Structure formats: structure tokens, C-alpha cells
Amino acid sequence: MTSNPTLALNGEAILLKNMRVTVSQQFQDKDQSGQTSATTKSEQGIKGKELRVSGEIPYKNPEILRRIFELASATDTSGQRQKYRVAHEAARAVNFREAIFTGTLDAPPQDGRMSWLVTFTLTEHIST
């Protein structure tokens, strides 16, 4: 069975070829050992999950690249970064529902492939 993983933000499909989505979660801790050889750590909390997304956009579809940059830089009515409902198999599996764009969105050209390799990160937004 072949299936193309689909990513949608607020119901809008993000059309990337050869899309790869990686889910991660960081667990912060701090070294408390000082100058000894012990490995004492103090817990600093659990951070929100992240979806790292990469995929290609053919040069013949610059409107897709433009739209991803528009989504990434969008703000809500209060001037905060836009939050998006996330639909993807991996996100659903780890209960990742709402996110904002964080870090860097980049799209370097792919040598010999007539496409851009788009990469970006969505960080889980947890409502308070």
C-alpha cells in the first residue's frame, strides 16, 4: 500500500514532493555535577513537540513556495504569530494539534533537480 503523507495547516494542504516529517520532543536537564565525575542532572521540564518538515517544490510552482512563506510570516489580529491546526499522520499519532512556525524557513535550490528544498519547523502551541 502506497500513501503520500499529507500535511495541512488550518485545512490548507502543503504540497511538497518527497515530504519528510520528523516529530521530536526535547527534555531539558542541567548538569549539576560541578567538577566531579558524577553525572547528577536536574530536570528542567518537558518542552513542546516539534514537527520538522522538508520537501521539494519544483521551480515551475513558485506560488507554492510563496504561500508557505506567507503562512510562516502571518500574524493574528493581536500581532502574534498565527497558530495553525496541524493535520498529518505523525502529528495525530502524538496528539500534536496546534502549532506556530519557529526557527528558520529556508528554500535552497537543488542542484540538477529544478526545485527548491524547503525546510521548516512547526512548534507545538499549548493553550493556557
Give the pLDDT of residue 126: 78
Question: From residue 115, how far is each of 7, 46, 57, 64, 112 by CA, in Å?
Answer: 19, 37, 5, 12, 8
C-alpha cell at position 68: 508557505
pLDDT score of 48: 82
For the chain, the domains span: 7-25+47-124
The closest alpha carbon to 26, from 48, 42, 59, belongs to 48
Q: What is the pLDDT along the chain (128 residues), one digit of tens a residue?
A: 344 558 999 999 999 999 999 999 987 666 655 565 555 555 556 668 999 999 999 999 999 999 999 999 999 999 999 999 999 999 999 999 999 999 999 999 998 999 999 999 999 997 54
Q: Would you state the torsion angle of the CA atoms of residues 89, 94, 95, 101, taken in this order, to the nearest 10 degrees?
A: -80
